[in-house]
Amino acid sequence: MQLRTKQDFAALMHKLLDPLLGLYSPGGARMVPGGAGASYGERAIGLEGFSRPLWALGPYWCGGGAAGPFAAIYQKGLASGSDPQDPEYWGDTVDYDQCFVEMAAIACAILEAPSIVWAPLSGPAQKNLARWLYSINEHELPHCNWRFFRVLVDLALESVGMPSDMALAAQDLDEMDGWYVGDGWYTDGPAADKPQKDYYIPWALQYYGVLYSVFAKDRDPQRAEVFRARALEFGKSFAHWFDADGSALPYGRSLTYRFAQCAFYSACVWAGLEPLPLAAMKGIIVRNLNWWLERPIFDRDGVLTVGYCYPDLLMSERYNAPGSPYWAMKVFLPLALPAEHPFWAAEAAPLPAEYAAPGLHVQYAAGLLLQRLPDGQLNAYAPGVVEKSGHGQFAEKYSKFCYSTRFGFSASRSNVQLAQSAPDSMLAFVLPGADGGWVFVRRHSRKVELWADRLLSEWSPLPGIKVTTELIPCAGGHLRRHTVESEFSCTAYDCGFAVPRFAPGFAAAVDGTAAEAHSDALSCTVQSKSGGAGHIVEAWPNTNLYSPNTVIPAVRYEIPRGTSRLETLVTSAAR
């Protein structure tokens, strides 16, 4: 899709949001685009669907976009949803309420376009909405990016002369400041509890920090400048997560938010920050949007689905309701800019040479070793250091050895069969069982060492087995060296990337100590250097984020009791 002018971006916004027009409730306060459930009930699911389009509509109206039918829906919905006497009332909030998440989009819309979403409301409706929003100050919130939701709500209430609690918001800001780890990176909560670094930094903590730096520049100029300086630093680091083909690194949780991946750069453009040249940031945004638009991420009515490159509930989190994917609307923040802003006239530039050139880049603050291959694909070697409670499938989303922009990764259906486990880019231990064997992989690393040219981790897939893994990037891929200390005999499969099975030109084969799979577009070869046997894992459908049908080339090792040393070479190419 042509994405250059403000009109182009507004047209894309309408392409994404107009299919929702017929899905709002009679009172306008709820919108449910599908039938799947989440860990919260109907009222929050309906509110989520209602609120998340505001991440685009607020900037659109701020930038002079036509009020149109959405304005009438939201004016009606904000009134009915916050009225305790209305059948569509969103409800009184409680501690840790999902409604607090959705308040953030409403708050930002008030800050951006009060003439559309605030001023037209009657006096009683304004009081109801302000009372309902203020309830975020009266309850407990998780110690994570949710703290920023309260900050944004209080800023919005203050901006329209309603009761707020900026002292409490300041406490939240102080707490979040303690999560800063350097080079623009945070942890999404106390590092001891949530050590992983993922997209919750660019599309949440950094994104909201940039918003704050604009919304609160007069009332809190010192903190605003800190956020701006950190965004400039982070923007230089985060560009390494993007492939020249427009894709971003598939890594971590909440990936159904899709093109929220590039929303941080949208925030920078809106705020007048240039961690990269303006044309380079536009290039990242445009390529990422177009990469997504080329994939079947919509249902037959044009509504975004839960999934990644196709509809897929298997990879979703328990907090992904049908309206969740519209968190991606954060990318449309530049619509708040005037038509004459230089962003709209800029040509979308390629990644700067320092990011596109083959080689290694260590992100110590993020805990990742990044490798750009000559064909443009990006590999990220991950430490497997994550919070212990998690949100489901953390082993798949954070603890694989390597994540690739060209292959995606697989989220297992179960651990009772190797094919169901689909353990791409993992060393999978299989213990005999009646159903084909139980599968165990790296979940949490006990110790990690990140160097300029390799990553070492110590981990245990289950009691009785300890593994030390060394990942060494090399030409075309990486070498894995595993030292396995086992109290019993078992089998292990050292697996490569998942290759699309029914793609044009597909073939897979085993040759002694090696296994290879390829299509016309991609190839992956796994070669044992220590006596294993080639093997092809026929993964169950819908496990991989990129393709619904894949095979995984692997090497099978028989693990005796005692100490074993395994060495496997994994290479891949975009053909």
Domains and CATH numbers, the chain: 6-356 (1.50.10.20), 359-574 (2.70.98.70)
**Cα gap 555→575, rounded to integer Å:** 23
The share of the chain scoring above pLDDT 90, in percent, equals: 96
- Average pLDDT over the chain reads 97
Return the pLDDT at 390: 76
pLDDT digits (tens, 9 = 90+) for 528-550: 999 999 999 999 999 999 999 99
Question: 145 falls in which pLDDT band (50, 70, 90)?
Answer: very high
**Cα gap 282→265, rounded to integer Å:** 8
pLDDT digits (tens, 9 = 90+) for 188-210: 999 999 999 999 999 999 999 99
Return the pLDDT at 1: 84
Question: 24 falls in which pLDDT band (50, 70, 90)?
Answer: very high
pTM of this structure = 0.97
Question: 106 falls in which pLDDT band (50, 70, 90)?
Answer: very high
Asked if the model's pLDDT at residue 137 lies above 60, the reply is yes
Asked if the model's pLDDT at residue 311 lies above 90, the reply is yes
Asked if the model's pLDDT at residue 436 lies above 80, the reply is no
pLDDT digits (tens, 9 = 90+) for 490-519: 999 999 999 999 999 999 999 999 999 999
Return the pLDDT at 9: 98
**Cα gap 340→345, rounded to integer Å:** 8
Cα atoms in the Cβ-side hemisphere of radius 13 Å centred on 74: 30
Return the pLDDT at 511: 96
**Cα gap 366→191, rounded to integer Å:** 12
pLDDT digits (tens, 9 = 90+) for 362-389: 999 999 999 999 988 899 999 999 988 7
Return the pLDDT at 435: 59
The share of the chain scoring above pLDDT 70, in percent, equals: 99
| CB-based contacts of 174, cutoff 8 Å, min separation 6 | none
Number of helices (H), then strands (E), belonging to the chain: the values are 17, 20
> Strand ranges (DSSP E) for 265-374?
359-363, 368-372
pLDDT digits (tens, 9 = 90+) for 314-347: 999 999 999 999 999 999 999 999 999 999 999 9
Return the pLDDT at 35: 87
| Burial status of residue 487 (CB atoms within 10 A of its CB: 0-12, 13-18, 19 or more) | exposed
Asked if the model's pLDDT at residue 434 lies above 60, the reply is no
- Going from the C-alpha of 272 to that of each of 56, 266, 281, the distances in angstroms are 18, 10, 12
